[in-house]
């Protein structure tokens, strides 16, 4: 049986919950198609998060990896296109670190592309009436740090991987910060996994809007 590794992050930035962690926990042990899902939660800490991810990769030997993160302010499931080689923290991580303009990998390439079928995922979610979009930036905080490290770890391995940002949950939402129910976000990631397992070559459309 193939294995799918799904990771989320612990709460950060003063939030009491992180929907990405709750989704990973909800999917842990779930079977999607012929694949078993392994869910795990990473610390929101530069360096340590990547070390724990690499340990999970060694232990689980997945065929597919979806790392998830929370993006407050977004109103749709955001499938990330590219990870960039920089840590530039607007706020402190959970260990108090605020790296500024620091490369994630000295001498590493400027960026790595996701190897997920990103547009096919977005189309599948929209077909299910779930707001979704292709995102051109995963930011420069711990999410991008993990995304870049993931793709660097998967070089020359027959494993697809990438990163998806989810909005705040409805419990976190405010008048100016939209939210989405945990059930809908969990369903979205299930559909994203199924799409990855069923899609060998991504669809080609003119842009991320899919209109």
Cα dihedral sign, 201-61-138-133: positive
Are the C-beta atoms of 118 and 165 separated by less than 8 Å? no
* Residues catalogued as catalytic: 80, 143, 165
Contact of 64 with 159, CB cutoff 8 Å: yes
CA dist 133 and 188 (Å) reads 12
- Residues 50 and 56: their CA atoms lie apart, in Å, by 10
Instruction: Name residue, tokens 């799904």.
Output: 6
Rounded to whole angstroms, how far apart are CA atoms 130 and 121? 11
Q: What residue has token string 């909005």?
A: 167
Residues 6+ apart with CB under 8 A from 143: 9, 67, 69, 71, 163, 165
């Amino acid at each position: 049986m193939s294995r799918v590794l799904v990771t989320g992050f612990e709460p950060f930035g003063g939030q009491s919950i992180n929907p990405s962690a709750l989704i990973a926990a909800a999917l842990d042990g779930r079977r999607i198609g012929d694949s078993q899902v392994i869910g795990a939660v990473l610390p929101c800490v530069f360096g340590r998060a990547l070390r724990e991810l690499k340990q999970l990769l060694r232990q689980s030997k997945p065929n597919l990896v979806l790392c998830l993160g929370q993006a407050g302010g977004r109103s749709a499931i955001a499938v990330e296109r590219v990870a960039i080689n920089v840590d530039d923290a607007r706020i402190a991580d959970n260990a108090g670190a605020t790296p500024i303009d620091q490369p994630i990998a000295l001498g590493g390439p400027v960026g790595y592309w996701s190897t997920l079928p990103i547009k096919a995922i977005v189309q599948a979610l929209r077909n299910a009436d779930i707001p979704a979009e292709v995102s051109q930036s995963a930011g420069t905080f711990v999410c991008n740090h993990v995304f870049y490290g993931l793709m660097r770890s998967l070089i020359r391995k027959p494993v697809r991987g990438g990163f998806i940002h989810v909005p705040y949950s409805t419990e976190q939402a405010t008048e100016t910060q939209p939210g989405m129910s945990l059930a809908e976000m969990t369903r979205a990631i299930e559909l994203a996994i199924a799409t990855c397992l069923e899609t060998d070559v991504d669809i080609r459309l003119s842009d991320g809007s899919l209109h």
